[in-house]
Amino acid sequence: MAKALIHDGTKSWWNGKVTTLCGLVFESGNSERLIFTGVSCPVCKAIKKAK
């Protein structure tokens, strides 16, 4: 099993989908896999830093 990356993203208010900064979309129900602290995804980190 691949090592899970921790992404940063935003959760949709209307359908529960989470879109990460690096462009991944997690369906509603998988959002517990996303933790918005201790982000380890290098793409998410880079985008957040650039903001």
State the residues that interact with Zn ion by CB under 5 A: 7, 20, 22, 41, 43-44
CB nearer Zn ion, residue 18 or residue 41: 41
Q: Which single residue brings its beta carbon nearest to Zn ion?
A: 41
Q: How far is CA 10 from the centre of its chain?
A: 7
Q: How far is the CB of 22 from Zn ion (least distance, A)?
A: 3
3-state SS class at 46: helix
Q: How far is the CB of 16 from Zn ion (least distance, A)?
A: 18
Place of tokens 């982000």: 39
